[in-house]
Structure 1
Amino acid sequence: MRGFPDRLRRVLFWSAAVPVAYLLLVRPLLLRWGATREEARAALPGDELMPRAHVVATRAVTIAAPPEAVWPWLAEVSGPDERLAPEPRKFGVGDLLPAGRGDAGFRVERAEPDRLLVLSIRGFYVTLSWTIALRDLGGGRTRLVSRQRVRCRPGVPGFVYLLLSQSADFLAVRGRLAAVKTLAEREFRRSFLEPRAGSRVP
């Protein structure tokens, strides 16, 4: 039992060190994946929907396609539906986008074609606003900036979601942004490779 105090001290040290390392090193990366400091700090439309958020996550990705080629795929961020080709989509205020099986879905709060989509969802344990902003970089490229502001209600379910929103949710959002990037770039490239309707192929 002589070494027991040393083992106990090591256990206590790592029990404190791991959470601190997560909060100081890992958590900021998860909440700002792909985004610059300027993008993370800048105000975005939709911020006013959740002024006192527990979690603010700003993520971004550059897409090799113009905003008008990205816009038709934005419905994929709430829940990919495995469409093989984009369909013309008009987002109207009050429309619901699916958020998974059994969920009420994201409500469209604001929509500006090829530029901005603001969504919200209100559950029994969480309220969330989600802004997807498209910025034309020129040269057929788009900067997509995604911001989620999350406020959890008191109680165990809200606390659990608060923890998940900083880790598991990161994987889900990153996957959806990557899906939008892949689909938009694929269809944009295909639009150049395929002959236009009615044109003659030499």
Structure 2
Amino acid sequence: MKTRMLSLTSVAAYVLVIRPSLQRWGTTIVERYAPMPGDDPSGQAKTKATRAVTVNAPSKDVWAQLLDVNGFVWEPTVGTMLPGRLAGMGFTVAEVEPEKNLVLIRGGADHALTRSAALHALSDERTRLVIRTSAWTAPNARGGLFGLYMDITDMVATFRLLLLVKRRSER
């Protein structure tokens, strides 16, 4: 009985406290609710995570680091797929405004994803990098498993990307 109660308490703590804070890591309340390029106008996304970091570098430097995919620098154009090892993940450029925003999309039978990155110049030498992931999953077992998988992998990948871009841009 104690084990079951501990398990339920742990799940409740994750769902009600830990997960929401991880999904909005580093953001201001305005960034969490402000519309971003690539947002689903129908509002059907099952999950939405917005994470951000302030980078002590100009937007052009942050943009250059955002486009450096494992040492392969690319120039995004609408309709192109991500280069290098990430190409197999199936992300396609849906929208791009250099040094401002980049929207990637990916879809499958049981899911659809949108990843948006927006750069906001705070000054000539400071930039705010905001990344939002929105996901829709089908109401079936595969969709549910994908949603759980996506929750974890998106969190790790986005934290890594934000901190990597910050570190490289601030050199």
TM-score by length of 1: 0.76
Q: 2:93 aligns with which of 108, 114, 121?
A: 108
Q: 1:70 aligns with which of 59, 62, 67?
A: 62
Structure 2 residue ranges without an equivalent (≥5): none
Equivalent pair of 1:98/1:104 in contact (CA under 8 Å) = no
- Number of residues of Structure 1 aligned to a counterpart in Structure 2: 171
Alpha-carbon separation, structure 1, partners of 2:32 and 2:23: 9
The offset of 1:130, in angstroms, is 0.9
Spell out, residue by residue over 1:164-184, the C-alpha distance to the aligned partner (whole angstroms, 9 max, x if none).
Answer: 333342112100121111222
Alpha-carbon separation, structure 2, partners of 1:59 and 1:94: 25
Q: Secondary structure of 1:44's match?
A: coil
The offset of 1:50, in angstroms, is 6.5
Spell out, residue by residue over 1:68-124, the C-alpha distance to the aligned partner (whole angstroms, 9 max, x if none).
Answer: 111122234xxx4135xxx5x532110111484672531111111111111111134
Spell out, residue by residue over 1:26-49, the C-alpha distance to the aligned partner (whole angstroms, 9 max, x if none).
Answer: 011110111112110111111136
Task: Calculate percent identity across the aligned residue pairs.
Answer: 36
Alpha-carbon separation, structure 1, partners of 2:46 and 2:10: 22
Question: Whose strand proportion is higher, 1 or 2?
Answer: 2
Alpha-carbon separation, structure 1, partners of 2:31 and 2:120: 12
Q: Secondary structure of 1:48's match?
A: coil
RMSD across aligned positions (CA): 2.1
Alpha-carbon separation, structure 2, partners of 1:109 and 1:143: 22
TM-score by length of 2: 0.89
1:33-112 aligned at under 5 Å gives the runs 33-48=25-40, 51-76=43-68, 80-82=69-71, 87=73, 89-98=74-83, 100=85, 103-112=88-97
Residues 146 and 99 (structure 1), Cα distance of their counterparts in 2 relative to 1, 3 Å cut: farther
Larger radius of gyration: 1
Structure 1 residue ranges without an equivalent (≥5): 1-7, 187-202
Provide the residue aligned with 2:102 in structure 1.
117
